[in-house]
Structure 1
Amino acid sequence: MSESDVTRQGLRGTRPGHQAVTGEAAGRAPRHARRGGRRKGRRGGEQPPVEPARFSSYYGRPVLNKPVWEARDIAGYLFLGGLAGGSSLLAAGAHATGRPALARPAKAAALGAVSLSTAALVHDLGRPERFAHMLRVFKPTSPMSMGSWLLAGYGPLAGLAAVTGLTGRFRRTGAAATAGAAVLAPAVTTYTAVLLADTAVPSWHQAYRELPLAFAGSGAAAAGGLGMLAGPVAQAGPARRLAAFGAALELGAMEAMKRRMGLVAEPLERGRAGRLLRASKALTASGAALGATAGRRSRAAAAVAGTALLLGSAAGRFGVFHAGVASAEDPRYTVLPQRERLRRRTAHPSPDTP
């Protein structure tokens, strides 16, 4: 074959569609267009020869298997665990400052919440003995193992504190149990955030820095709301302050988390998760504001504020759960952040890299 055999339509003597072609027939730009592209490139940079490739995964399938947990069980477990831990902290503060009408419902709420939380976890596991099997191993590097042991230790303390508070008997034992439950309460409130962040689900894993703070604030706001709802206005001062602190912590942590996460924060703002989290933000902010103002004087306002805070905390936990499921279903949230991390490592290699 000589150069004269090559034409704009391909190779002379070939059958179209059966042999490779060159030139215009292969999609090559005409000479005048190429010259124009080069002239434009001198002024505005080199023009890409083809359009940017669209992202897709193999056969459009997800890269990760989405979580198979039931939202009612696991999102409910997240919410109730936070409510239990926050209620134990509120109960200890009310007990220490001589507010029995606030301490009693807070202790009862802690027991009820941790009992329902454990029941939701066991229901999701499918068989009750599976929870007992998790206690056969003590593994500090496993959030699930540590969480199981944490519930096993916290539950009896919360139960003892509630029973002695309601009956008025064995007060010293009840005081010790109340203090012990309060010591474990921060871990009970936040360990579920560590559990979620320890998975490969993009919108959970990338939230590892701020999610424990958001869950801590959510649990505190829920407990403060329950205290305003169940306790008398005259003794609900600690509940109002706890609710205001928890709301500020939760809203601030969630906002900082979404800003830092970039692309992977999209599931937190879209679809069902986005609607739930927007409702959570509105309910939490309005509940804390109402409790700190009209809730100081009006029993009805305190009850409305407390209900809003409880609903806001629940909506936030369900929103985070659904955002994680949505991020696992879309392969973009798995692959594109990996490519970005690889690009950064290539552009700025570590000194230890050989």
Structure 2
Amino acid sequence: MSKRAVKIEAASRERLKKLLVDLMLIPGLSGHEGRVRRYLKRALEELGLETRSDRLGNLIATLPGAANAPSVMLFTHMDQLGFVVRKIEADGFIRVERLGGVPERALPSQEVLICVAEGRDRTGLIANKSHHATTPDEKYKVVPYMDLYIDAGFSSREEALAAGVDIGLPVVYRPHAIALSESRIAGTSVDDRAGCAVIVEAARLLVKSKQRPTVHFVFAVQEEFNLRGALTAAQILSPDIAIQLDLLLATDTPDMGYRGDVRLGGGPAMSLYSFHGRGTLNGTIPHPALVSLFDGTAKRLGANLQRSAHTGALTDSSYVQLVGQGVASIDLGFPMRYSHSSLEVCDLDDLEELTRLLVEGIASIGPGFSLDRDDYE
């Protein structure tokens, strides 16, 4: 490897790290993604890309490419899970409604941010009953979120209202990022600000590529709410191919080994099967052309592409794949530990390799790229 190549990779890594940390520190609950969208809009425009938004709030930028090649929608979601203010008690304590798959057992003692407006947000904490007053039965009980409350320092409902806190306001885990090592980052909303960072860096590299299909970069809204935010963008763009980026469950911790063989730091991952049956009844089985594409790309790069098959989680590709006559879809991603908690963990090495895989794979989609399933099955 040349010294120049090493310098380029080092620069890419630093950009990815900055993008990731910056994005993790911006609150953006589902349906309230404006601050994240404006940051990403600026980042894309710095690359010379024009952006637009649909009425739902999805951010879209299109990079033209070979006219006869299948068009690609490369997308991820920019929202995060959290809460919505449900009630303000007379004594100033705040009750919330859960938005998204928030784990109730991990909520007491968490710091939160009540998103009033930029410069006016209020920090609070989810109260945890004093240990000295906790009965033996209570010590082993998960308190339902409906019974929890937030202490934001207010002494009355009127004081909270005067500070701008009201019914319907978004509340998220207090944004922060922690470097666990040179490559591992912990903190809020790694899901899916890591995916956002990768797409921005991939866009930077694809802009410079002489061979590429038309690529639509989409940062979707409301994935944590109902998994359908990306649908409006797909309906507008009518892509031939949809490549979705999100976490893939790392299974290298003591409690997760039985779930699969995805290792943090082991490289990007490809989902071969996802399904969610608790009321959702959906999932994604990837198009064989894309499995073949990224398998082959990883081999050419000498990269390790991990494989995942799991139930209990899904992405908005489950719905995007059903647009029009059908969109050839695949879920790619990065291993992540502790999903939906206030401290998720990812590895920059995986994000770098995922970016390389995407750029090389997408750039190789030319006019002769077949999406006929009979060519693969």
TM-score by length of 2: 0.29
Of Structure 1 and Structure 2, the greater helix share is in: 1
Higher strand share: 2
TM-score between the two structures when normalised by the length of structure 1? 0.30
Q: Which structure is larger by alpha-carbon Rg, 1 or 2?
A: 1
- Quick one: higher RCO (CA 8 Å, sep 6+), 1 or 2? 2
